[in-house]
Amino acid sequence: VARLLYISASPKRDLSVSRRLAARFLAAYSTRHPEDEIDELDVFAADLPAYGADHAIAKFALLFREQLTEAQGAAWQEVIGQIDRFKSADKILLACPMWNYSIPWPLKQYLDCIMQPGVTFGYDPQKMIHLGLLANRPVQFILTRSSIMPGDYADFQLPYLRYAFSAMGLNDLRVVSAWQTTKPSAEARAAYVETFVPQVEAAAAAF
C-alpha cells in the first residue's frame, strides 16, 4: 500500500480548475490503486506554521550547533512535523495555480517550512550546488494559469517548483500544465477543463 500526498494550493475549492483536474487525476489513480492512501494537504486550509523569526533563527542555530530558546525549539518541532509528513509520502501530487507569475503564498510558506539545510537538502561549497537529501519518488504537478503559456519567459511557477523539488532530491517530476483557464462562463470553463482530462488521466495511469 502506497501513500500519496496530495498538496493543493488553490483557495477556490469547487471552483478551482487545478483542484478539478487533480480530482480527475485521483479518480483515475484510485481506480488502479484502490488500496492506496490519499493524504490531502490543502495549504490554504492547513494550519501551517507561521514561519517567522523563531523558525528562521532555529534554522541556522541548528546548523551552527547553537542553543535554541524554548520558542525556537517549538518552532523547529513544527517544521520537523511538516517534513515528516512530506517524507512519508511514496508519491506526491501538487495542484497549483499561477499567482502573479509564481506560486500562491501559502505554498511558498509551506516550502519555506520543509526546505531545510541538513534535513531536506545539503550544500556542496566546493561545487556550489545543492544536494537533495530526500529519497527520489514520483511527483506529479498539475499547474494552471491564464495568459502565461508553459515555457513563457515570465513563467516563474514551473521553473521555481522544479528547482525547489529537485534541490530536495525529487527529480522524477511530471507536469501537466493547463493554460487560458479563465473563461467568461461556468459552462465554457467546464468544457475547457475537459480538454485537459485525457492528459491528466494518462499521467495517472503512469503514476
Contact letters (x/-) for ligand FMN, 145-184, by CB under 6 A? xxxx--------------------------------xx--
By rule CB under 6 A, what count of residues binds ligand FMN? 18
Pure H helices in the chain: 17-32, 53-63, 70-87, 105-114, 158-167, 186-194, 197-205
In the shown chain, the binding pattern of residues 76 to 105 toward ligand FMN, with x for contact by CB under 6 A and - for none, equals ---------------------xxxxx----
If the CB atoms of residues 129 and 149 are measured against ligand FMN, the closer one turns out to be: 149
Select 117 or 150, whichever has its Cβ closest to ligand FMN: 150
75 phi/psi in degrees, rounded to 5: -60, -40
Q: 62 or 94, CB closer to ligand FMN?
A: 94
> 6 near 185, Cβ under 8 Å?
no
Q: What backbone torsions phi and psi does residue 136 show, to the nearest 5 degrees?
A: -65, 150
Residues in contact with ligand FMN by the rule CB under 6 A:
10, 12, 16-19, 97-101, 144-148, 181-182
